[in-house]
Amino acid sequence: MEIVKILNKSTFDNPTYATEHSSGVDLKAFIDEPINLKPLERKLIPTGLFIELPIGIEAQIRPRSGMALKKGLSILNTPGTIDSDYRGEIGVIVVNLSNDIVTIEPGERICQMVFTRYEKVSFENVNKISETDRGAGGFGSTGHK
């Protein structure tokens, strides 16, 4: 199991940073006052968390299905990428996709963060790439059913 170092400046209950579940952790809004989002409004919400990821591991910020279904709250850039060399505070770009004002409360779990391994690649410049059956077909080329 990889170790992720975590610096926690949030002051919420213990564990202050998150609720752990099988595939990752939920992150809480590190805010003093409730924040309102108008329909289609987006805001960067601080978490009070700073992490040091092992090389080869990235963290992804994803919406919570309950927040999406009940409030219409999503993450605008999902899945948000936390790079292994990033040392700033983790921020969450929430967006209100409902027709109503959505309120985020201090300490509310607003998203989930999962960890994935990524491959490092290098590029080789060529004049031709291999042919396949699919070729350039994409964007729905195989139909609906």
Ligand X SMILES: O=c1ccn([C@H]2C[C@H](O)[C@@H](COP(=O)(O)OP(=O)(O)OP(=O)(O)O)O2)c(=O)[nH]1
90 contacts ligand X (rule: CB under 6 A): yes
Based on the shown chain and the rule CB under 6 A, indicate whether residue 94 belongs to the binding site for ligand X: no
With contacts defined by CB under 6 A, how many residues of the chain interact with ligand X?
10
Distance, CA of 112 to CA of 118 (rounded, Å): 19
Q: Does 81 bind ligand X (CB under 6 A)?
A: yes
E strand residue ranges, the chain: 5-8, 18-21, 24-28, 35-37, 42-46, 49-52, 57-62, 73-75, 80-82, 91-96, 102-104, 109-117
Of 13-21, 64-72, 76-84, 122-130, the window that binds ligand X (rule: CB under 6 A) is 76-84
Answer yes or no: are the C-beta atoms of 93 and 82 closer than 8 Å: no
Q: Closest distance between ligand X and the C-beta of residue 106, in Å? A: 19
Q: What are phi and psi of 79, to 5 degrees?
A: -80, 125
Q: Environment class of residue 22 by beta-carbon count within 10 Å: exposed (0-12), middle (13-18) or buried (19+)?
A: exposed
Give 100 or 116: the residue with its C-beta nearer to ligand X.
Answer: 116
**Which range of residues in 25-33, 62-70, 81-89, 97-105 is near ligand X by CB under 6 A?**
81-89
Of the candidate spans 5-13, 19-27, 73-81, 127-135, the one that interacts with ligand X by CB under 6 A turns out to be 73-81
Q: Give 120 or 145: the residue with its C-beta nearer to ligand X.
A: 120
Residues that bind ligand X (CB under 6 A): 61, 77, 80-83, 86, 90-91, 93
